[in-house]
């Protein structure tokens, strides 16, 4: 095993160990102290997770370099680390307390969700790794909706197992993005059953996606939501979860999006993925600390 693989294995082990320790600690601290604990964790992470801090600052430079000062960019990065820490601690704390979770997440625009479901062809919830999005799915499950999330498996199987079990306990279904054929079949079946399928499209998708503008720069983006909508006539519904000042949350369902037709099927996909990406950008611009800047969103570029 080469040194790079050893480092990766060690990083994943310590990541799992840290998660397990945090999970143990929050069992013994008062509920009102979990956010102070999260802030302490985030300050350590921002100081010592040099690679992730560097990626966050670089990503913010790409997005806001012409609009914000270096100090403003650093402030957003620090707040983003804080929000990520809060989200992780919340998941461990709330996912075993369904009644508490249900009361801490409100819904706006439910009429848009109900209108989409009334068509009987399933609903594609288009979103991003924005806010504490696992709570969005958990809240919907607690409200009686049948919801699935299309997700990439985490690199560490031990961590993936922890969060898979938490989702399963709430009745949230997991559709893994690989293998691709199984992902497609499970998604189509869920939509034909008039269920909700959550698809985030804000991460680098390499050569398999389409290139659309995101903060003025081309970004490789997944096409799944539009292709599934073309195949099944399912409703497309942008949705987001926002952290409130008191650390409660609000889910917002935007009005449903009808497909704009292009010159051909490929052009239709490109046009509508750009529209969905534009909506995601609007939310990130308005609430920049809610997004995960530690991902290299613009890593792939057109040849």
β-bridge pairing 123-127 and 196-200: parallel
Within 8 A by CB and 6+ apart from 288, the residues are 60, 63, 64, 76, 80
Q: Is 302 a member of any domain?
A: no
For 82, the enclosing helix (H) or strand (E) is helix 70-94
In a domain, 301, yes or no: no
In a domain, 295, yes or no: no
Domain count, the chain: 1
Q: Residue 250: count other Cβ atoms within 10 Å of its Cβ.
A: 15
- Return the minimum-mean-pLDDT range out of 13-27, 109-123, 146-160: 13-27
Tell me the C-alpha distance between 200 and 189, whole Å: 19
Q: What is the pLDDT of residues 102-143, one digit of tens each?
A: 999 999 999 999 999 999 999 999 999 999 999 999 999 999
- Give the C-alpha separation, 199 to 249, whole Å: 20
Vertex 252: Cα angle to 247 and 253 (nearest 5)? 160
Query: Contact 179/154 with Cβ under 8 angstroms?
Result: no
At 282, list the tokens. 């609007």
Please state which of the ranges 5-9, 96-100, 145-149 shows the lowest mean pLDDT. Answer: 5-9
For 266-290, the DSSP string reads HHHHHHHHHHHHHHHHHHHHHSGGG
Please report whether residue 63 resides in a domain: yes
- Give the pLDDT confidence score for residue 22 in this predicted structure: 65
Q: Find the range with the poorest average confidence among 95-109, 152-166, 198-212, 246-260.
A: 152-166
Domain presence at residue 217? yes
Strands of the chain, DSSP E: 105-108, 123-127, 147-151, 173-176, 196-200, 210-214, 217-221, 235-243, 249-253
Per-residue tokens: 80? 């983003």
Q: What is the DSSP letter of 217?
A: E
The separation between the first and the last C-alpha atoms of the chain, rounded to the nearest angstrom, is 33
> Per the domain annotation, does 62 fall within a domain?
yes
Q: How confident is the model over 234-259, as a mean pLDDT?
A: 97
Q: Which of 151, 142, 215 is nearest to 177 (CA)?
A: 151
H-helix segments, 133-204: 133-142, 157-170, 180-192
Separation in Å, CA 13 to CA 92, 157, 219: 18, 10, 31
- Residue 297 falls within a domain, yes or no? no
Specify which residues 249 forms β-bridges with: 105, 243
- Tokens 């409100």, residue located: 106
What average pLDDT does the structure give for the chain?
A: 90
CATH code for the domain of 56: 3.40.1130
293 DSSP assignment: T
Cite the DSSP H helix spans in 95-128.
98-104, 110-117
Q: How confident is the model at residue 14 (pLDDT cuts 50, 70, 90)?
A: very low
Q: Is residue 135 part of a domain?
A: yes
- pLDDT tens digits, one per residue of 156-207: 777 777 777 778 877 889 999 889 999 999 999 999 999 999 999 999 998 8
DSSP code of residue 31 = G
Range of the domain at 239: 3-290
For the entire predicted model, the pTM comes to: 0.92
């Amino acid at each position: 095993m080469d040194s790079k693989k050893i480092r990766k294995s060690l990083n994943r082990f310590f990541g799992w160990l840290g998660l397990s320790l945090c999970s143990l600690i929050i069992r013994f601290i008062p509920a009102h102290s979990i956010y102070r604990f999260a802030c302490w964790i985030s300050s350590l992470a921002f100081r010592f997770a040099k690679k992730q801090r560097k990626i966050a600052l670089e990503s913010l430079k790409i997005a806001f370099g012409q609009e914000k000062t270096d100090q403003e960019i650093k402030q957003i990065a620090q707040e983003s680390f804080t929000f990520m820490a809060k989200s992780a601690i919340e998941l461990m704390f709330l996912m075993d307390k369904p009644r508490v979770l249900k009361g801490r997440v409100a819904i706006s625009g439910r009429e848009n969700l109900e209108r989409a479901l009334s068509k009987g062809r399933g609903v594609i919830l288009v979103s991003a790794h924005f806010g504490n999005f696992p709570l969005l799915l958990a809240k919907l499950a607690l409200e009686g909706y049948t919801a699935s999330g299309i997700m990439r498996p985490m690199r560490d199987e031990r961590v993936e197992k922890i969060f898979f079990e938490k989702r399963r306990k709430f009745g949230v279904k997991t559709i893994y993005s690989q293998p691709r054929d199984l992902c497609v079949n499970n998604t189509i079946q869920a939509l034909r059953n008039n269920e909700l399928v959550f698809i985030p499209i804000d991460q680098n998708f390499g050569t398999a996606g389409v290139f659309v503008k995101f903060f003025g720069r081309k970004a490789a983006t997944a096409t799944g939501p539009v292709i599934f909508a073309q195949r099944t006539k399912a409703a497309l519904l942008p949705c987001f979860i926002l952290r409130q000042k008191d650390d409660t949350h609000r889910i917002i369902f935007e009005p449903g999006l009808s497909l704009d037709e292009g010159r051909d099927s490929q052009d239709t996909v490109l046009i509508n993925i750009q529209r969905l990406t534009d909506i995601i950008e609007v939310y990130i611009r308005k609430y920049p600390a809610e997004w995960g800047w530690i991902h290299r969103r613009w890593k792939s570029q057109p040849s």
